Amino acid sequence: MKANTNLRKGSRQARSPYSLVVKSLIVSALILTGIQAPLKAQVEAQVQEDSITKPSWWFGVAAGANINFYQGTTQKLNEDLTVPAGFHHGNGIGLYIAPLMEFHRPDSRWGIMLQAGFDNRKGKFDKIVTPCNCPADLDAKVTYLTIEPSLRLAPFKSNFYLYAGPRFAFNLANSFTYKQGANPLYPDQAVNPDVRGDFSSTNKTIFSMQIGAGYDIPISSQKKQTQWVLSPFISFQPYFGQDPRSIETWTLTTLRVGATIKFGRGEKIAKPPKETILPLAAVVTAFVEPEVVFYINSPANVPAERRVRETFPIRNYVFFDLGSSEIPDRYVLLTKDQTKDFREDRLEVFTPKRLSGRSDREMVVYYNLLNILGDRMGRFPSTVIRLTGSSMEGVKEGVAMAESVKKYLVDVFLIDPKRINTEGRVKPRIPSEQVGGTLELKLLREGDHRVSIVSESPEILMEYQTGPNTPLKAIEFNAVQEAPIDSYVTFNVDGATEAFSSWSLEIKDSLGVVQKYGPYTQEKVHIPGKTILDIRTKGNFNVTMIGQTKNGKTVVREAPLHMVLWKQSEREMGLRYTIIYEFNSSDAIATYEKYLAEVVTPTIPKGGKVIISGYTDIIGDAGNNQRLSLARAYDVKVIIDKALTKAGRTDVKFEVYGFGENLDFSPFGNTYPEERFYNRSVMIDIIPKE
């Protein structure tokens, strides 16, 4: 049998099409940026002479070539045809043509674009060799009606522009042609006829995104009211969301190159008067202090700690050390004799060998993952699971990792091996490392080197959850929060990002002792009240904000601060729930809607307060992580607020925070992948009325 020569997903060769895509996009943008400056000067000079403005509304048509790259696995073509071996990579060129509409004012950087039309994603998979040593080919003809709204940005207020936005695609055609040749060792063998048909399990609607760049080249005189423009463009549409089918793992990535021709009508304007040039001596430069507003939000009572009943979800992943298929020793592994004493409500007895030092109680719960799973499978004999090992070293190592977990459950908890299925993959179904990525690959690959626990048994899973990334049913336990979120003092400097290069705080108490914090660049900073009070139970402070402007000047603002330390009543206990996310996602909140509405919301007491805090791990851009964490927190708030409204309740107060990857606030460390995965979360603290 001829060896399979398909490249492993993730190798340098397998990623090269996407590297080419990204490089092409960057080079095109740089070329357009380089030529825009002199043309911009010519156009501005022309505006001074002409009496017609550039149009704000444009209409036309876009046409181009879709350069399509196929990735993933395709083997079951439809219900009647499953080919002997899977196809993995391919490429092709399809036609794109669409009417368009644009709105962007001549003096603005921002605008909007809308295109809707014919979008062909056809391609040909790389030739493979089937088990009979027969060459095989697969052509795919996939066509969509696409709707593409975009936000348009002209960074230099010139003809060069960038754009980005979502893509909505509706499937029109999904045919294929399968060809299987004869074994070259038997040249007299009859030739197999081509098989033509339609793919089954086709996704009728696809939601994805794109980014791109273009350049407007005027092809008519600006002296005319109707003006015409030719705009070459290039765009990149990554594989996120571009799954042609609801089965297997085939994905599409597209580089689109083309041009638009469009027209618009300008408005008549009066010629500007001649400028009066003042002599240099008449020009006076003065420092204008920037407009910033400094104020402090401080809780009326500062809680030093709070007792809570925490409902903690158990992530359904077992993370392995890179290069190893043995369960790491940081997980709690029992002997057969110890299982009779194991109980979910006494996990503090079974502690791991290594902890990172932050949120130890929660990580003790997680590191007993295999014991909790084995105990539940023992108590519910009808439950079954699938263990999927994922390793960049190949499917064989992925299977070995899954078998390690299976062996532990079978040998220690005496689970029937027929109830545990194992499989191997190169990457998990929801990977952290994305195609073409080059940054923080070690951390991403640590997160993808894991065994996923998949089950359809509700006795094992979190309420209302299904799918390959569903956490196991949560564990409840009592915990103590040190310096809870509502004990933080918030210092606000509205306008700081525009006015200052940095700013800092000096907090002086009644004895003249000064505490210094900073420097900061964001407009809002949170500091635990207990940190400021130290050993005091209350205090009056004078707070000075010192801002450094971008031209080296100093701006000072002052505000008073009064704080009182408060101790929670022994009879009161808060509640905490946690929602966990996959890598870089915020829209996964939809899967938790029923859980939030029917489990979390009913536990909110009358007149209570709900504090919702979003977090991320340290992977990625800090600014994006900040926005992502806040988006996750507000998604949760919207669902809970909607459920309260439906119940006729208006007595609940909300506080919403997004802390991003800030190490001062992240609930877990970032040493191990499981800690980073738990940092991708939203925590919901429910506090009784004080």
Q: Locate the domains of the chain by residue range.
A: 15-265, 293-304+483-566, 316-470, 574-687
Q: Are 234 and 259 in contact (CB under 8 A)?
A: no
Reply yes or no on domain 293-304+483-566 having CATH 2.60.40.1220: yes
Of 166-170, 258-262, 400-404, 677-681, where does mean pLDDT reach its minimum? Answer: 677-681
Q: Tell me the percentage of the chain whose pLDDT exceeds 70.
A: 86
- Read off the pLDDT band of 19 (50, 70, 90): low
Q: Give per-residue pLDDT as tens, 602-639.
A: 999 999 999 999 999 988 888 888 888 998 899 999 99
- Read off the pLDDT band of 43 (50, 70, 90): very low
Cα gap 440→424, rounded to integer Å: 24
Q: Are 216 and 161 in contact (CB under 8 A)?
A: yes
Q: For residue 257, is pLDDT > 90? A: yes
Six token digits for residue 246: 């609801």
Residue in the structure block whose two tokens are 């036309």: 60
Amino acid in the structure at residue 182: A
CATH H-level, domain 574-687: superfamily: OmpA-like domain (3.30.1330.60)
Cα gap 313→328, rounded to integer Å: 21
Q: For residue 498, is pLDDT > 60? A: yes
Q: For residue 421, is pLDDT > 80? A: yes
- Read off the pLDDT band of 47 (50, 70, 90): very low
The topology under which CATH files domain 15-265 is Porin (2.40.160)
Q: How confident is the model at residue 440, as a pLDDT?
A: 74
Q: What CATH architecture does domain 316-470 belong to?
A: 2-Layer Sandwich (3.30)
Six token digits for residue 4: 């399979």
Q: How confident is the model at residue 7, as a pLDDT?
A: 38
Q: Give per-residue pLDDT as tens, 633-685.
A: 999 999 999 999 999 999 999 999 999 888 888 888 888 888 988 998 999 99
Average pLDDT over residues 559-567: 87
Q: How confident is the model at residue 48, as a pLDDT?
A: 41
336: number of Cβ within 10 Å:
10
Cis, bond preceding 519 (omega within 30 deg of 0): yes
Q: For residue 317, is pLDDT > 70? A: yes
Q: How confident is the model at residue 587, as a pLDDT?
A: 55
Q: How confident is the model at residue 186, as a pLDDT?
A: 81
Average pLDDT over residues 261-267: 89
The secondary structure of 570-628 as a DSSP string is TT--EEEEEEE--TT-SGGGGGGHHHIIIIIGGGPPTT-EEEEEE---SSS-HHHHHHH
Q: For residue 328, is pLDDT > 90? A: yes
What average pLDDT does the structure give for the chain?
A: 84
Amino acid in the structure at residue 187: P
Cα gap 76→248, rounded to integer Å: 8
The secondary structure of 242-311 as a DSSP string is --SBSSS--EEEEEEEEEEEEEEE--B-PPPPPPPPPPGGG----------EEEEE--SSEESEEEEEEE
Cα-based distances in Å from 635 to 324, 387, 630, 677: 38, 31, 9, 19
Q: Give per-residue pLDDT as tens, 221-256.
A: 877 889 999 999 999 999 989 999 999 999 999 999
Matching fold, domains 15-265 and 293-304+483-566: no
Average pLDDT over residues 366-391: 93
The DSSP secondary-structure symbol of 2 reads: P
Residues 6+ apart with CB under 8 A from 285: none
- Secondary structure (3-state) at 561: strand
Q: How confident is the model at residue 16, as a pLDDT?
A: 47
Six token digits for residue 32: 């357009």
- Read off the pLDDT band of 353 (50, 70, 90): low
Q: For residue 5, is pLDDT > 50? A: no
Q: Are strands 574-580 and 305-314 parallel, antiparallel or unpaired?
A: parallel
Cα-based distances in Å from 345 to 339, 358, 365, 573: 14, 21, 10, 18
Six token digits for residue 109: 């950087």
Q: How confident is the model at residue 586, as a pLDDT?
A: 52
- Read off the pLDDT band of 463 (50, 70, 90): confident
- Read off the pLDDT band of 53 (50, 70, 90): confident
Q: Give per-residue pLDDT as tens, 114-163.
A: 999 999 999 999 999 988 888 999 999 999 999 999 999 998 888 899 99
Q: For residue 9, is pLDDT > 60? A: no
Long-range contacts of the stretch 42-51 (C-beta < 8 A, 24+):
43/158, 43/159, 43/218, 43/222, 46/222, 47/222, 48/271, 48/272, 49/271, 50/222, 50/223, 51/223, 51/268, 51/269, 51/270, 51/271
Strands ordered across the beta sheet of 574-580: 472-482, 305-314, 574-580, 681-687, 609-614, 653-658
Cα gap 472→511, rounded to integer Å: 53
**Better-predicted residue by pLDDT, 304 or 44:** 304
3-state SS, 453-506, equals: EECCCCCCECCCCCCCCCCEEEEEEEEEEECCHHHEEEEEEECHHHHEEEEEEE
The dihedrals phi and psi of 188, each to the nearest 5 degrees, come to -85, 0
Residues 6+ apart with CB under 8 A from 12: none
**Better-predicted residue by pLDDT, 12 or 334:** 334
Of the CA atoms within 13 Å of residue 676, those in its CB half-sphere come to 20
Residues 6+ apart with CB under 8 A from 418: none
Q: How confident is the model at residue 460, as a pLDDT?
A: 87
Q: For residue 393, is pLDDT > 60? A: yes
Classify residue 45 by burial, with Cβ atoms within 10 Å: 0-12, 13-18, 19+: exposed
Rg for the chain (alpha carbons), in Å?
30
- Read off the pLDDT band of 287 (50, 70, 90): low
Q: Are 28 and 212 in contact (CB under 8 A)?
A: no
